[in-house]
Amino acid sequence: MRAAAIGYLLLGLLALALPWVGLYPVFLMKLLCFAMFACAYNLLLGFGRMLSFGHAAFFGFAAYVTSWLITAHRVGPAAAVLSGMLVAALLGTIFGGLAIRRRGIYFAMITLALGQLVYFVCLEAPFTGGENGLQGVPRGTLLGLLPLRSDRVMYYLVLAIFVAVFLFIRRVVHSPYGHVLRAIRENEARAISLGYDINRYKLLAFILSAALAGLAGSLNSLVLGFATLSDVQQSTSGEVILMTLLGGTGTFFGPVVGAALVVSLQEYLSDLVGGWVTAIIGVIFVACVLSFRRGIIGELAALRRR
């Protein structure tokens, strides 16, 4: 426990120093946003054992909502990001409500189909800018006080939000609700026989996960200044699964490591090998899943327990 606390402290200090050691703040922010996305996804997959194939819908649609509110309605960044998150939560309520009636692969298929639906809406709807997406989204001024144009200022804001989300997820998992969710994950039939309406608990996990995925997407679009179709695309849903599995499902820090790995590889490899980057990450993924099933952090934790 003590070691973990020291580890987190060091990581925190490192995160504070990173923009000053020559790493691009925008790259770091993108990494944090995807780490947040993966943590949100892990809440569903790792702690709720529900496999969603459509999580890009929450990430991407929230990005559109935020960008649209800012460009078309001059809404401030805080309200725009919160609205994106709220819409994602709403979307999550609908998706979750439909998918949770089914188990396993059927659950996954429903989320996949709904995710595709959102993609088509974003492609065709009048306010999303079609193939181009919404470009040139200004970051504006936070609550009329803090201008966000500077990348470093924005970085610390994103970092603070990321830390808050990370701690929030820990709290959820260790809350009275989290205990019930864990019991449901371990043995659904037994949880039912103890009087729990398991679908309501699963739905709450789905909504929380969708809301946080939306927050990540909204922030990401604010950082980059655009929302595009690639945010809602099927491949983004795949990426977040990959990040989570790679880092370790059901661990707190695993998704962060997975996201850092995938985003870094994409960033550095795409300059070197172009389109091959997808194939390379795919191979790494297969190799990892075959050789260490629990993911990087999961395996490390297992080693330490021994």
Partner 1 sequence: MAAAPHSSVDQFILETRGLTKQFKGFVAVSNVDLRVRRGEIHALIGPNGAGKTTFFNLLTRFLTPDGGQILYCGEDITLARPAELARRGIVRSFQMSAVFPHLTVLENVRIALQRRLSSTFHFWKPASSLAVLDARARELLAQVDLAGFAHTRAVELPYGRKRALELATTLAMAPKLMLLDEPTQGMAHEDVDRVTALIRQAAAERTVLMVEHNMQVVARIADTITVLQRGKVIASGRYAEVARDPQVMEAYMGSAEAALAGAPA
Q: What does the alpha-carbon distance between residue 176 and residue 184 come to, in Å, rounded to a whole number?
A: 13
Which amino acid belongs to residue 253? F
Kindly state the smallest distance separating residue 302's Cβ from partner 1, in Å. 13
Kindly state the smallest distance separating residue 11's Cβ from partner 1, in Å. 23
Nearer to partner 1, 75 or 89 (CB): 89
Nearer to partner 1, 150 or 175 (CB): 175
Kindly state the smallest distance separating residue 34's Cβ from partner 1, in Å. 23
Kindly state the smallest distance separating residue 42's Cβ from partner 1, in Å. 15
Nearer to partner 1, 13 or 197 (CB): 197
Q: What does the alpha-carbon distance between residue 246 and residue 229 come to, in Å, rounded to a whole number?
A: 25
Which amino acid belongs to residue 135? Q
Q: What does the alpha-carbon distance between residue 34 and residue 15 come to, in Å, rounded to a whole number?
A: 15
Nearer to partner 1, 195 or 275 (CB): 195
Nearer to partner 1, 130 or 186 (CB): 186
Q: What does the alpha-carbon distance between residue 278 and residue 254 come to, in Å, rounded to a whole number?
A: 21
Q: Which residues pair with 142 in a beta bridge?
A: 146
Interacting residues with partner 1 (CB under 8 A)? 171-172, 174-180, 182-183, 186-187, 189-198, 200-201, 204, 208
Residue 105 CB coordination number (10 Å): 10
* Cβ density class 243-274: b for 16+ within 10 Å, e for less: bbbbbbbbbbbbbbbbbbbbbeebeeeeeeee
Kindly state the smallest distance separating residue 105's Cβ from partner 1, in Å. 22
Nearer to partner 1, 16 or 192 (CB): 192
Kindly state the smallest distance separating residue 36's Cβ from partner 1, in Å. 17
Kindly state the smallest distance separating residue 49's Cβ from partner 1, in Å. 12
C-alpha distance from residue 189 to each of 158, 166, 192, 196, 204 (Å): 41, 30, 5, 10, 19
Sign of CA dihedral 112, 117, 120, 122: negative
Nearer to partner 1, 152 or 174 (CB): 174
**124: CB partners within 8 A, 6+ apart:** 130
